[in-house]
Structure 1
Amino acid sequence: MSLVLGLILDAMFGEPRAIWDRVPHPAVLMGRAVAWCDARFNAGDARKARGVAVMAGLGLAAVLLGMVLQALGGLVEALVIAILVAQRSLVDHVRAVADGLRMSLGEGRRAVGMIVGRDTAAMDEGAVARAAIESAAENFSDGVLAPVFWYLVAGLPGLLLYKMTNTADSMIGHRTARHAAFGWAAARFDDVLNIVPARLAALLIAGLYGQWGAWRGIVEDARRHRSPNAGWPEAAMARALDVALSGPRSYGGEMRAFPWVNGGGRRDPGAREIEAGCAVLWRVWAVVLGGAVLVWVS
């Protein structure tokens, strides 16, 4: 029951600003813990070993906290799930890009800049829309399906372990001079925890949108993707919407020639396709909710 209630509460209320403007969101607190560890331990020799130890410590702390919260009862459990599963906020942020594009290209760039890390200043409308749709697909897997999956596997300890790992990966799991060694453990552990959810997301999208005949292409695109996991939901979403995703983009003023996902699809999507992507997210969410109900009554 806790999972069903948590999913419904998240869908209804998302992340109320009246609350999170006054107290730090748990994800913010996780980020502060990661940032403190980065500042304190990412120096000197043996940075890779230090990063492994940090991830072990953060992971253990997350598991122990999850055990404490789980012992407080089903209502607390449901509230934690509602806070840490991000369906409503994801859809709201992605839909804001469509709303921005309807106003102007500049507003679309501003909105998409809130959810992606690439350079947005020179994006045309198609690039803005592709970035929003990619973010929708990847973050549905990371922010919705993976937390639900790990909750079903290991309760709140599993959910909090996943969220801590995912937060650490987003902050220090980059191949930069500072984080390539120290963030290695965060990046690899996040990859491992997302292996099943990413592929499950692709299966759900492909199944709901009649893309079984395109499964071989989804697999091929996913394997060419720069991420071992993100390519799976992106490839399925691209075919559900008949658009091309990924492709060349700029980071830090440097163009990178990433391969296209579903390269034969439309390369000039707009607000309409972003809205269609949001509809995909809600349809798959409904299946996840239905699965949670079945688990509850079984």
Structure 2
Amino acid sequence: MSIAAIVTIAMALDALLGEPRWLWQKLPHPAVLMGRAIDALDSRWNIGTARRAKGVAAIALLGTAAIAIGVLLSQGGVIFSAVIAAILIAQRSLCDHVAAVASALRLSLPEGRAAVAMIVGRDTAQMDAPAVTRAAIESAAENFSDGVIAPLFWLGIGGLPGLILYKMVNTADSMIGHLTPRHAQFGWAAARLDDFMNLVPARISALLISALSRPRPVWSDIATEARQHRSPNAGWPEAAMARAIGVALSGPRAYHGKMQMHPFVNPNGSKNPRPLHIDAAVTVLWKAWSVVFSIALLFILFL
């Protein structure tokens, strides 16, 4: 009952308020504090030999600290816990940032590139309008899993300690979990643990998106393309979203000046998506959010 109440209140607060800029201009966001802790360990421990072992120790230390903070914050009661949880859920901010790309693209291609550069890590300077659109939709699908469903899943499983542990691991993965020469060893544990913690949420996200699609896509098609994706988890919501709005996603893209020839997801979909497809993706995300919110309400009312 209390976990369902925390989930419901947190989702409502996030949907209504999003990320209040006035607050985070005065105080550091929890993700910023997590990032500082990760960066400090990266600077001090990611040197010399045995870097993989040091990375395992770093993620163990960060995870233990996250759980301890979660246990401490949980003592504040349901409302306080819900406020903390709302800060760590990103539905409103995700939808606002993705929708902003469509609005910017309707004004000009350079403004669309600038808007999408705020939410993706790939090179955007040479993107044409369809590439900008695909990038925004892919970010919507992937971050719905990482930023909404996974935090809610781990909140439901482990309360605030579970949620804060997930956010710490996910932040660590985004900072040190890349296969660069510096982080290939030290970031191994963060990347693998993040893959594990997103395993179920990614598939739940795909299920929610596909269940809301008309006509409903064939699940085996989603699964086949998801398994071919460069990420073990991101391909699931991406493949479901591609079919939900009738576009081809992924495909060739540039990272750090190098072109990578990734295959298209849903290759029979439109390869010339427009801003209206971004609008459709945002609508799908809010419908999926509504389903999860309704389930949480039912738990409060009947359990």
TM-score bracket for the superposition, by shorter chain length: over 0.9
**What amino acid maps onto 1:130 in structure 2?**
R
User: Which residue number in structure 2 is paired with residue 123 of structure 1?
Assistant: 127
Equivalences for 1:45-56 in 2 at 5 Å?
Answer: 45-56=49-60
User: Which residue number in structure 1 is paired with residue 210 of structure 2?
Assistant: 206
CA contact (8 A) 2:91 2:144 kept: yes
Are residues 1:238 and 2:242 paired?
yes
Equivalences for 1:128-167 in 2 at 5 Å?
Answer: 128-167=132-171
Are residues 1:6 and 2:28 paired?
no
CA contact (8 A) 2:105 2:129 kept: yes
In structure 2, list runs of 5 or more residues that go unmatched.
Answer: none
Task: Determine the C-alpha separation between the residues in 2 that align with 1:133 and 1:231.
Answer: 13
Deviation for aligned residue 1:72: 1.2
Q: Which residue of 251, 256, 263 corresponds with 1:252? A: 256
User: Which residue number in structure 2 is paired with residue 189 of structure 1?
Assistant: 193
CA contact (8 A) 2:252 2:259 kept: yes
CA contact (8 A) 1:34 1:168 kept: yes
User: Which residue number in structure 2 is paired with residue 228 of structure 1?
Assistant: 232
* Cα distance change of structure 1 residues 264 and 75 upon mapping to structure 2, 3 Å threshold: same
The runs of 4+ residues in structure 1 deviating greater than 2 Å are 210-213
CA contact (8 A) 2:210 2:217 kept: no
**What amino acid maps onto 1:105 in structure 2?**
L
Deviation for aligned residue 1:280: 0.5
Deviation for aligned residue 1:210: 3.7
RMSD: 0.8
Report the count of equivalent residues. Answer: 298
Task: Determine the C-alpha separation between the residues in 2 that align with 1:215 and 1:4.
Answer: 29
CA contact (8 A) 2:217 2:243 kept: no
Task: Determine the C-alpha separation between the residues in 1 that align with 2:291 and 2:43.
Answer: 42
CA contact (8 A) 2:217 2:244 kept: no
Q: Which residue of 19, 22, 31 corresponds with 1:27? A: 31
TM-score, normalized by length of structure 2?
0.97
CA contact (8 A) 1:211 1:239 kept: no
User: In the TM superposition, what whole-angstrom CA distance separates every residue of 1:164-203 from its partner, at most 9, and x where no partner exists?
Assistant: 0000000000000000000000000000000000001001
In structure 1, list runs of 5 or more residues that go unmatched.
Answer: none
User: Which residue number in structure 2 is paired with residue 42 of structure 1?
Assistant: 46
Task: Determine the C-alpha separation between the residues in 1 that align with 2:43 and 2:274.
Answer: 41
Tell me the percent identity: 59
Deviation for aligned residue 1:216: 1.3
Task: Determine the C-alpha separation between the residues in 1 that align with 2:37 and 2:214.
Answer: 43
